Structure 1
Amino acid sequence: MNDAGTYLYAVTRAEGSAPAEDLKGVAGEAVRAITHAGLVAYVSTVPLDRFGEEPLRRSMEDLDWLSETARAHHSVVEAVARTTPTAPVRLVTVYSGEDQIRELLDRRHDDFTATLARITGRQEWGVKAYVDPTAPPSGEGGEKDEGTTSPGLAYLKKRQASLRSREENWRQATVRGEHIHDVLKSVAVASQRHRPQDPQLSGRAEWMVLNGAYLVDLDRGAEFARLVAGLRGEGIDVQLTGPWAPYSFAAFAEPTRGEPTRGETGDDP
């Protein structure tokens, strides 16, 4: 069908692969499995008038559409990942048809196999750390007002002190973010620091000084969660999310000519 494309969610090994029955994906389309070269690709058929290159450019600017599509995509990935090691594919990866999917499994077979070996027995955890920018830096003593300064000069001094305070607050916050990341990656087998989220996406006005992803052995998940809990306090809020399918640790090279255009919503699952 030249008016339909094949939407790819994830790849697993054929051995122990999860059934695709009853799974619904993006746009409410049924999910099916394509088995080839010892691997399984989980896909849906999608209309190109909504998922073709040009329509996608418009749709990716629609936050409601993007949110709905991301939820459907992630629900398929998480359902598959509950039963077998799963390599998620970036959101909105659309191929021309099943033949192109099989060609992908052939061409990237070693990449998929290596990724699946790396993530087997492991899960991704997300950690975000926030600091209140209005809190005074630790050790700040404040300046004495001798009562002899003119109102204009007093205002300038107060303004300069406020700027110095904010800069010092940011410096201390970033140091703490680095420290938290160093502590957590000592327990993880792999880690990545993502860009801080825009406050409109995070819903928080505080500075985000850490947006990290950590690949952790299954038997160390509880230990990792306790470590995160122990890093909270003293003006810093550390939030733990997950466990997730390992989105941050299953990335592949950007598509070459002849492959699909990929869209993505951001750093987190």
Structure 2
Amino acid sequence: MTVVDQNSLRKLVEGQLLRLEGNAFQDCMDRLGLELYPGDYQPVRAAGPKGDTKNDGYCPKARVFFAAHATRGERIDKTKAKIRGDLEGCLREHREVRVWRYLTNDTVQGEVDQFIDNELRPLYRDVTIELWGLKTLADEISKLKRDQVDRIIDVITVDEPEFEVAVLDHMKTGRDLWPILSGCLGWLEHVEPDDCTDEEQDLIDGAVQTFRDWSDISGDIEFSRSSVRDAQRSITAILEDLAEKKLALYAGTKEKYPLTGGPSPFLGTVAIFKIVRVASE
């Protein structure tokens, strides 16, 4: 498989979105609108005394209106005020608003989502009000074709970056492996012995897939120590299953690895897994 598969591509997109501020984020959202609504989406920029009429881009045919705002670290009360002001301003200035979509590169706080659901949607029942935060944006972008993703986040993804040597350590427990899984954006193709039986092959494939699955959700469970411990115990059990077959896992990371092409590639950390056969004592 390639370094940038579907899951690591989503993480890559998240990383790119997090780097954007101000007009750069709005430009990125314009590119997204052009891909989602070809032939309909029209970017809008502030001009004259009326500004952008509370509209950062819209679809005249579908009647979908966008408000794009980079809100990293913004206070919740300010975010709620911004959402209310943009929505109400858009509804005053434009007719037949069917969908109003607020786009942000921040993780949506529960209080903000609750505010939209409990206060705004009951007031404007004829309008579909949507909030696309960082993860929703990354998910929606990652569903598109690779060339579309490249255009939206303004990079060129590559399937096989040049390999560089990295030091691997013997992973004996889940606590050993967890920092690698939780700190990587992707992984290189794992290495395994050439003489594996079918049973060993199934065990290795299942182990590596589980490691990748834990890596994918690591950011969602890091806030819970008990969830992390459960993950580490699960990983330890897998390593013990490998050890019973006289197999050991060596793993490491390669930092500042080029996950995209172009003159200014996006650099990230990738994990490297190597399964070796242990000689019987």
Query: Normalising to structure 2: TM-score of the pair?
Result: 0.23
Higher strand share: 1
Query: Normalising to structure 1: TM-score of the pair?
Result: 0.24
Higher helix share: 2
